[in-house]
Amino acid sequence: MRGCDPDAALYWLAKMLHAGEDIRFIVRRIMICASEDVGMADSQALVVVTAAQQAVDFVGLPEAQLILAHATVYVATAPKSNRCTVAIGKAMQEVKQGRTLAVPKHLRDTHYKGSQKLGHGENYKYGHDFEGSYVPQAYLPEGRTYYEPTENGMEKRIKERLAYWRALFEAEAGK
């Protein structure tokens, strides 16, 4: 599936099914590939595989092979991006290394007595009150970039949207 070859993916699926591999293990691997290798390039891959997992559990063999084939071909032919996988790896590495960032004051909980005195929630801007549901405000105390989208599939649109938002943020910060 990772190599975008549906024929090879179907052959290896058939081989696992013929050998008696647990269908739950097979669908689990397809599900991981849908997120790890397809990712944001086609988020519907995860939806399709999750539906396949439910259908496989409900239907069972031998008909489950049809559902597994459907999910396998979808994931094999979907555009690919591992950028979410890379991004969570970067963020996890920073956390494991002890990097501790404070929650910005405007994002801190305001639902307890005394929070106002601490400045919690001060100057918070609710994104939905702004055009495009975006407001340029910091959600980390210092700029960090973990997720860097590709030009593949839907991720191209996400990349364009993030570039626009980041430009708005930089323009606001420069004021």
**Over the stretch 37-80, which tens digit does the pLDDT of each residue have?**
999 999 999 999 999 999 999 999 999 999 999 999 999 999 99
May I ask the CATH architecture of the domain 6-77? Up-down Bundle (1.20)
Task: Report the alpha-carbon distance of residue 63 to residue 21 in Å, rounded.
Answer: 15
Residues 6+ apart with CB under 8 A from 142: 101
Cα separation, 126 vs 61, in Å, equals 50
* pLDDT at 66 (0 to 100): 98
Q: Where are the domains of the chain?
A: 6-77, 86-173
Distances (CA, A) of 44 to 35, 50, 51, 118, 154: 10, 10, 10, 43, 10
What pTM, to 2 d.p., does this model score? 0.85
Two domains, one topology: 6-77 and 86-173 = no
Q: What would the 3-class secondary structure string for 126-149 be?
A: CHHHCHHHCCCCCCCCCCCCCCCC
Separation of CA 90 from chain center: 14
The helix-helix angle for 44-59 and 64-77 (nearest 10°) equals 170
CATH number at 86-173: 1.10.3710.10
CA distance linking residue 128 with residue 101, whole number of Å: 26
Mean pLDDT by 10 residues, the chain (175 residues): 92 97 97 97 97 97 97 97 96 91 86 87 89 88 88 96 91 80
Q: Which helix (H) or strand (E) holds 25?
A: helix 23-33
Question: Given this model, what pLDDT does residue 96 score?
Answer: 95
What is the rounded CA–CA span in Å between residue 164 and residue 66? 42
